[in-house]
């Protein structure tokens, strides 16, 4: 399998792509932080945040709706937030008696629900934008510059590098299972639940031993090529004027959003 299937990086040229990855990480985290800081129901500030996001989409040459299209991933979690509507805060709007439980939606609960959804939706879009404009190795390098422990960043780098190799391994194992449990059309194939569990467990174990042994070979191959416990990159990653400028502009914008959010 090729990296493109999972990797969400968009090969484009733009001002955002060219920014130092550290700047992009800081701005993204700052944006998500700003969303978390905004009080419930501060719609103008949320709208302003969304405009900033649209602008960033445009500057990155992705098209205005790019992150919007991919932002539905957090939607299933909305189920959890629905119960916020029935928080015992604010005025009750109605009483729904379902027999076993009495549901009382409240106005403040409704505001909280929509605020949570908007915050989550904006934050997810920023994260999408970050990985769409930053190559993953650069992202890891940025985290290293931001003083994450090297052990951890190196593990993450290895994870990314071998994810695709092991995914291929999974597909081989799944193909082998399918080949061995063929069934006639219309008839159920495969065994009972216990058999399925045993098979899945063996597949996980098989995958484990294959991965373990592969990591041994990888390590020996890397040692013989001069590995010192650190992954290097060809990108120098130096902050230049435009990086600092973007950082300053973003900080100013986020401050503005906070001011708009808290003044009422």
Partner 1 sequence: MLYSPVYMHIPDGFLTLAVSLVFWGITIVMVALAVKNTNRSLGEKQIPLMGVMAAFIFAAQMLNFPIAGGTSGHFLGGALAAIVLGPWAGILVMTAVISVQALLFQDGGLLVMGANIFNMGILTAVIGFGLYRLAIGQKRVLRLAMAGIGAWLATMTAALMASLQLWLSGTTPLEIVIPAMLGVHAFIGIGEALITVAALVYIEQTRPDLMSEEKTAQEGGHGWVIGGVLVTLAAVILSPLASAHPDGLERVAENLGFLGRGMDAPFQILPDYTIPFLGETALSTILAGALGALLLLGLTILLGRSLIRKGNQA
- Residues numbered 206 to 235 that lie near partner 1 (CB under 8 A) are 206-209, 211-212, 214-216, 218-219, 222, 227-229
Residue 252, interface with partner 1 (CB under 8 A)? no
Binding span for partner 1 by CB under 8 A among 52-60, 158-166, 240-248, 250-258: 158-166
Interior angle at CA 65, CA 261 and CA 85, nearest 5: 45
Residues of span 26-55 touching partner 1 by CB under 8 A: 28-29, 32-33, 35-37, 39-42
Among 54, 68, 81, 260, which residue interacts with partner 1 (rule: CB under 8 A)? 81
Shortest Cβ distance from residue 40 to partner 1 (Å)? 5
Sign of the C-alpha dihedral computed for residues 251, 253, 257 and 263 taken in this order? positive
Residue 12 region by backbone torsions, left for phi larger than 0, else alpha for psi between -120 and 50, else beta: beta
Q: Which of residues 231-250 bind partner 1 (CB under 8 A)?
A: none
- Helix H, strand E, coil C: the string for 6-47 is CCCCCCCCCHHHHCCHHHHHHHHHHHHHHHHHCCCCCHHHHH
Nearer to partner 1, 15 or 196 (CB): 196
Contacts of 243 (CB under 8 A, 6+ apart): 19, 20, 22, 23
Q: Does 92 bind partner 1 (CB under 8 A)?
A: yes
**Rounded Cα–Cα distance for residues 153 and 93 (Å):** 50
What letter does residue 232 receive in the DSSP assignment?
A: -
CA 120, 243, 55, 235 torsion-angle sign: negative
d(CA 17, CA 59): 9
Our finding on whether 165 is near partner 1 (CB under 8 A) is yes
Close Cβ partners of 132 (under 8 Å, ≥ 6 residues apart): 8, 9, 10, 60, 62, 66, 67
Q: Which range, of 14-22, 55-63, 189-197, 243-251, touches partner 1 by CB under 8 A?
A: 189-197
Q: Which stretch binds partner 1 (CB under 8 A): 11-19, 48-56, 81-89, 252-260?
A: 81-89
Choices 56-64, 196-204, 238-246, 248-256 (CB under 8 A): range interacting with partner 1 = 196-204
For partner 1, the closer CB: 18 or 159: 159
CB of residue 173 vs partner 1: minimum separation in angstroms?
A: 8
d(C-alpha 125, C-alpha 117), whole Å:
12
Is residue 201 close enough to count as binding partner 1 by CB under 8 A? Answer: yes
The Cα 142–Cα 25 span in angstroms is: 8
Q: Which is nearer to partner 1, 235 or 240 (CB)?
A: 235
Residues 99-138 that bind partner 1 (CB under 8 A): 104, 106, 108, 112, 116-124, 127-128, 130-131, 136
Site for partner 1 contains 258 (CB under 8 A):
no
Q: Is 76 in the site for partner 1 (CB under 8 A)?
A: yes
């Amino acid at each position: 399998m090729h990296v493109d299937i999972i990797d969400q990086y968009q090969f484009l040229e733009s001002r955002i792509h060219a920014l130092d990855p550290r700047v992009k990480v800081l701005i993204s985290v700052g944006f998500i932080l700003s969303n978390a800081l905004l009080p419930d129901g501060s719609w103008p500030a949320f709208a302003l945040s969304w405009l900033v996001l649209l602008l960033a989409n445009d500057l990155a040459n992705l098209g205005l709706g790019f992150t919007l299209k991919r932002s539905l991933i957090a939607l299933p979690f909305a189920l959890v937030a629905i119960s916020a509507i029935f928080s015992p805060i604010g005025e009750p709007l109605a009483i729904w008696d379902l027999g076993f439980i009495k549901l009382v939606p409240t106005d403040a609960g409704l505001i909280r629900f929509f605020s949570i959804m908007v915050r989550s939706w904006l934050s997810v879009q920023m994260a999408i934008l970050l990985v769409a404009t930053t190559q993953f190795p650069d992202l890891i390098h940025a985290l290293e510059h931001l003083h994450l422990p090297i052990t951890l960043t190196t593990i993450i780098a290895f994870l990314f590098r071998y994810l695709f190799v092991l995914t291929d391994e999974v597909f081989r194992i799944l193909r082998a299972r399918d080949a061995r449990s063929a069934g006639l059309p219309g008839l159920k194939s495969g065994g009972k639940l216990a058999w399925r569990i045993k098979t899945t467990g063996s597949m996980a174990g098989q995958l484990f031993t294959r991965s373990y042994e592969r990591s041994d070979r990888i390590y020996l191959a890397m040692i013989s090529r001069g590995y010192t416990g650190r992954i290097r990159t060809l990108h120098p990653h130096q902050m230049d004027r435009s990086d600092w400028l973007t950082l300053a502009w973003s900080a100013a914008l986020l401050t503005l959003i906070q001011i708009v959010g808290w003044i009422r």
